[in-house]
C-alpha cells in the first residue's frame, strides 16, 4: 500500500551515493546534455497536456548500459523492466538494487528496486533520494505520473513511446556512437499480442507487439495511448527476424501491480495525494543549481507553441 514516506534530499554538488567516480562523471555528462535538449524534447511531443504529463513522468537510467522507466504513482513508485537491473536471480540477490535515474529536465533521483519479477520482466522501484537544493530530508515529494489504461487498446491504435536510445551504434561494423538524444519520443501503433503464448511470461521476448521506433536502451520505456496518455505497456525487446518491437502487455502489468501496488490500479489513484504547493518552474541552469525550476536480436533492449515546461516534482516541506 502506498504511503507518504519522506525522501532523502541531497544538496547539489555533493557526491551522489552508490556511484563510482566514473559513473558520477557519466551522470553529470548526461545532465548537461539533457539541459541542452530539454526544449527540443518537449517540442517533439505530439500536442496535448496528457502527453506533457507523460514526458514529466518518464525517466532514463544514468548508467552506461542505458534503460528507461516511468512513474505510475505520485509518491515515487516507478515501473521498469526487470532486466534493466539484472538478468538472473543470483545477480539480483547480489545487487545493491539501487540506481540513479534522470528526468528529461536533468533532475536526478535515486531509486531502489522493491519487487523484481523476471518472468513478467517487470520491476517496481521507489524513489528514495533527490538531488535538490529545495526542501530537506524527510519532506514528502510528489511527482507527475501516468495512469494505467483501463483496457488494452484496439489493434492499430496510435501509441507514443518515450525512452533512451543507447549511445553505441549496434548496426555499424566499426565502433562508433549514435547521434540520438538521450530522450527520444516516437510514434507508432499497437499491433496486438503474440498468439498462443502466456502474456504473463515475457522472460524471452515481450508478448505485446508495437511498431513505435526504439533502439537498444529503450527497455522499460512507457508505451502510451496517444489519445489520453495512459500506460498500455512497457517496451522490452524486439525480433530481428521481423523487425517487430515487443513489450510487456497491460495485462501483465495489472497482475504485477495487483500483487505489489494495488493502489496504482484505482481509476483515480492518489489524485488527493498531490499536495497544493507551487509548481517549480524550469530554468536553464545546470544541475549545480539544484532542482530545475519551471540488432539487434530478440534480446532485451536496455544494454545498448506548447504549454510551459513543468517540473516533474513538487516538495511539501510543511
What b/e sequence results for 185-209 when a residue is b if at least 16 CB atoms lie within 10 Å of its CB, and e otherwise?
bbebbbbbbbeeeebbebeebbbbb
Q: What is the pLDDT of residue 52?
A: 93
Q: Give the confidence band of 34 by pLDDT, cuts at 50, 70, 90.
A: very high
Rounded to the nearest 10°, the torsion over CA 227, 232, 238, 244 is -50
H or E segment to which residue 55 belongs: helix 49-57
Residue-level pLDDT at 316: 57
pLDDT digits (tens, 9 = 90+) for 85-128: 999 999 999 989 999 999 999 999 999 999 999 999 999 999 99
What is the average pLDDT value for the chain, to the nearest integer? 82
Q: How large a percentage of the chain has pLDDT more than 70?
A: 77
**34/175: higher pLDDT:** 34
How confident is the model over 135-162, as pLDDT tens digits? 777 777 889 999 999 999 999 999 999 9
Could you tell me the fold of the domain covering 8-316? Thrombin, subunit H (2.40.10)
- Confidence (pTM): 0.82
Amino acid at each position: 500500500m502506498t504511503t507518504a514516506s519522506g525522501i532523502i534530499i541531497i544538496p547539489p554538488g555533493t557526491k551522489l551515493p552508490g556511484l563510482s567516480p566514473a559513473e558520477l562523471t557519466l551522470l553529470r555528462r548526461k545532465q548537461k546534455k539533457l539541459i541542452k535538449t530539454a526544449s527540443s524534447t518537449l517540442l517533439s511531443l505530439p500536442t496535448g497536456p496528457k502527453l506533457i504529463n507523460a514526458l514529466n513522468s518518464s525517466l532514463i537510467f544514468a548508467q552506461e548500459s542505458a534503460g528507461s522507466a516511468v512513474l505510475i504513482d505520485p509518491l515515487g513508485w516507478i515501473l521498469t523492466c526487470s532486466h534493466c537491473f539484472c538478468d538472473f536471480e543470483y545477480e539480483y540477490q547480489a545487487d545493491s538494487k539501487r540506481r540513479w535515474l534522470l528526468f528529461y529536465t536533468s533532475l536526478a533521483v535515486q531509486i531502489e528496486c522493491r519487487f523484481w519479477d523476471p518472468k513478467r520482466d517487470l520491476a517496481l522501484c521507489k524513489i528514495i533520494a533527490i538531488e535538490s537544493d529545495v526542501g530537506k530530508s524527510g519532506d514528502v515529494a510528489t511527482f507527475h505520473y501516468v495512469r494505467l489504461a483501463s483496457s488494452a487498446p484496439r489493434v492499430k491504435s496510435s501509441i507514443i513511446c518515450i525512452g533512451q536510445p543507447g549511445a553505441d551504434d549496434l548496426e555499424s561494423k566499426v565502433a562508433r556512437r549514435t547521434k540520438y538524444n538521450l530522450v527520444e519520443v516516437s510514434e507508432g501503433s499497437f499491433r496486438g499480442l503474440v498468439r498462443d503464448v502466456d502474456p504473463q511470461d515475457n522472460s524471452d521476448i515481450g508478448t505485446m507487439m508495437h511498431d513505435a521506433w526504439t533502439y537498444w536502451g529503450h527497455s522499460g520505456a512507457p508505451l502510451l495511448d496517444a489519445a489520453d496518455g495512459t500506460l498500455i505497456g512497457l517496451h522490452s525487446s524486439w525480433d530481428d527476424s521481423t523487425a517487430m518491437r515487443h513489450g510487456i502487455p497491460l495485462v501483465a502489468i495489472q497482475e504485477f501491480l495487483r500483487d505489489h501496488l494495488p493502489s496504482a490500479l484505482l481509476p483515480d489513484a492518489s489524485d488527493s495525494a498531490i499536495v497544493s504547493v507551487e509548481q517549480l518552474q524550469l530554468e536553464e541552469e545546470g544541475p549545480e543549481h539544484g532542482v530545475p525550476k519551471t540488432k539487434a536480436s530478440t534480446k532485451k533492449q536496455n544494454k545498448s507553441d506548447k504549454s510551459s515546461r513543468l517540473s516533474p516534482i513538487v516538495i511539501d516541506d510543511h
